[in-house]
Amino acid sequence: MIKTLTTGAMALAIMAGSALAGSTSALDDPAKMSPFFTDAGMKTLKTEKDFKTAWMAMKPDEQKAVLKDCGDTTLNKSHADFCAMAKMMGG
């Protein structure tokens, strides 16, 4: 009985950990975000024109994911300038 409960608890923990690991923000993905910044550290946004070019190059579902993440208060705080520009482009 104890062995069955322990095995079940371990399986549940592994599944929960996998689900949490897969839920990362588009705003924290350097591959998606680097086209919007002038520097490798992603601190300085490109001009509005260049930002728009990068925005239009994104797939619509990627744009929606970014806007959704910008709607999250915690994420928006750490990406405020980017989110303000993204909202001007698509929301």
The tens digit of pLDDT for each residue in 43-87 reads 999 999 999 999 999 999 999 999 999 999 998 888 999 999 999
Q: Report the distance separating Cα 45 and Cα 1, nearest Å.
A: 58
pLDDT grade for 4, boundaries at 50, 70 and 90: low
Phi-psi region of 62 (alpha: psi -120 to 50; beta: other; left: phi over 0): alpha
The tens digit of pLDDT for each residue in 30-40 reads 999 999 999 98
* Rounded (10°) CA dihedral 64, 70, 74, 75: 80
Instruction: Classify each residue of 60-91 as buried b or exposed e, where b means 16 or more C-beta atoms within 10 Å of its C-beta.
Output: eeebebbbebbeeeebbeebeebbebbeebbe
pLDDT grade for 26, boundaries at 50, 70 and 90: confident
The predicted model scores a pTM of 0.70
